[in-house]
Amino acid sequence: MTFEDLVNETGYWISFEQVSVPQSEGVNLRFIVNKAKEGWHLRVHPQPDTDVTTYQIDFPYYVTFLVAVDVYTRWNDRETFRGDAFRIYSESPFMEYLEKDFLSPTMTAIDYPGKEPTLYGVACNDHIVYVVSYVDPIVKEINFEDERNVTEMNTTITTKMKINKPASEVFEAIVTPEKLGGYWFSSGTSRVEQGKTITWKYEEYGAEGNIHVLKVEENKEIVFSWGETTVTMAFLETDEGTLIEVSEAGLKADDPEIVNKMLGQKEGWVYMLTCLKGYVENDITTLRASLVH
């Protein structure tokens, strides 16, 4: 499910369930909204006879957002958008104001080279929400009632390793596809850069997957999403070398296999960082692809 899929849907009403800023999960802004074909279903939800779908919409790195009460707004003929309840704008006075007096062209060029900001809209029963972002939102359908009843559990996996090399060498080993093949995946389709979607391949296991690069700060931080999770790699240079910390967030606490998944991911990151340490410190390339399940 993508935001574009929601834009292409028509004939629905939506309402807010929650707005939050869960920065600990690698997400800066999160909306939880309910969708139904009949407006009254939203008013009495979660009654058992209602037909309501709930979505979690995450903006990993948004620029700004505006929430307006619908009764105090009017239809604006200068707005052009695609969609119904969920919108992507091509023209908007709000966006014109931001580009003229708010957005920094210098920071845009540094943080999001070659990318233009997009204005997203969510038109609820009684509110209109505008969100400006250079990164596409992440959408998933959830059972919010079940999530409210789950005892809160921290499913973030954090793994640290000290590598006796400068942060620049550790950073380059991860972002450069030719070096990646020396200790982890066999290949990558391009260098890790902010805004890119890259395919990493594991020829030995006949597997491949896409990562969506959300943030890159040279020699300091890399953030990307793959599957349902978000991975943050932080590089802290010390007198003795570099401390690299990898955190993976987004695993579902109510997943019946959550413990096995967390153990599996933890094992994977420990192994990957061990291979990285051997490669960067001693140019060892024989450790990768040796893990047997």
Q: Which residue, 148, 176, 194, sits at the end of a domain?
A: 148
Give yes or no: residues 135 and 244 share one domain: no
More reliable by pLDDT, 150 or 43: 43
Q: What is the mean pLDDT of residues 176-199?
A: 94
pLDDT score, position 26: 59
- If asked whether residues 35 and 102 sit together in one domain, one would say yes
Structure tokens at 66: 């505006």
User: Judging by beta carbons within 10 Å of its beta carbon (0-12, 13-18, 19+), is residue 236 exposed, middle or buried?
Assistant: middle
Q: Provide the number of structural domains found in the chain.
A: 2
Residue 133, domain member (yes or no): yes
Indicate whether 290 belongs to any domain.
Answer: no
More confident residue, 10 or 192: 192
Same domain? For 254 and 265 the reply is: yes
pTM as predicted: 0.54
CATH number at residue 229: 3.30.530.20
Same domain for 46 and 100: yes
Residue 193 domain flag: yes
Answer yes or no: is 288 within a domain. no
What's the average model confidence in pLDDT over 101-105?
78
Please indicate, yes or no, whether residues 245 and 135 belong to a single structural domain of this protein. no
pLDDT band at 109 (very low <50, low <70, confident <90, very high): low
Instruction: Say yes or no: 168 and 136 in one domain.
Output: no
Does residue 164 sit in the same domain as residue 261? yes
99 and 206 together in one domain: no
| Among the listed residues 255, 26, 289, the one whose alpha carbon sits nearest the alpha carbon of residue 135 | 26
- Based on the domain organization, do 93 and 198 belong to the same domain? no
Domain that holds residue 185: 150-282
CA distance 182 to 66: 46
**249-261 pLDDT per residue, tens:** 988 887 888 888 8
* 190 in the same domain as 128: no
